[in-house]
Amino acid sequence: ELRTPIAITEGAIDNARIIYGKDGKDTKITKTLTLAHEQVLFLSKMVNDLSTLSRAERNVADEPEVIDVTSLAHELHAEYSSEAEKKGLHFNISAHKPLGNVRVSRLYLHELLQNFITNSIKYTKEGHITLTITKEDDEFLFAVSDTGIGISKSDQEKIFQKFYRSEDYRTRETGGTGLGLYVAQKLSRKLGCTVSVKSRLNHGSTFSFRLPVYKAKE
């Protein structure tokens, strides 16, 4: 019920912002409209996070299906490479050869990786983001790494808490909801895996998890 009015409001404010931005019209109005537009986008992101969380808690779309992990990596690259490019970042994937399949909820796996990728783009000012999928015996290791601002040791203990936001001013500047990693943890549990974090302040972060390789019964 919230999605439709938010989408309509976002579109209307954006159109007004474009109209008033033409021909050097009143900058006070354009600044106010830009601020309003940013806040509506923030509200939309929060609704999406809550919606994802609700689906996971109600086991909606949790039916497992066979997923080619290499194809999934390329889908995500196509989906988010332009967003990275807008910030002057490179979005790389390391999963070029056929690796095999997993059998899990496509929605949950996609949203988990999407969460890490969008976070990396948000908290990286220069450099790159890399999605790596490697096969190790009977498991796949999924990892999203970046050259971003990193996470302090004290924050690493709290980042999966609901609504937690770091006191680091660079994190505050991004205007996140504090729900993303909490949702990611919920999704990982639904997938039967555990998220690991490796990070060093000012030297980037890596979020990873493992899933079993799916082997079709002969």
Band of pLDDT at residue 171, cut at 50, 70 and 90: low
Band of pLDDT at residue 167, cut at 50, 70 and 90: low
pLDDT computed for residue 114 by the predictor:
94
Lowest mean pLDDT among 26-40, 139-153, 194-208: 26-40
Query: In whole angstroms, what is the distance from residue 120 CA to residue 170 CA?
Result: 13
Average pLDDT over residues 46-70: 85
**pLDDT at residue 133 is higher than 90:** yes
**pLDDT at residue 96 is higher than 80:** no
**pLDDT at residue 27 is higher than 90:** no
Band of pLDDT at residue 64, cut at 50, 70 and 90: very high
Band of pLDDT at residue 162, cut at 50, 70 and 90: confident
- Identify which of 161, 51, 181, 56 has the alpha carbon closest to the alpha carbon of residue 120: 181
Q: What is the pTM of this model?
A: 0.80
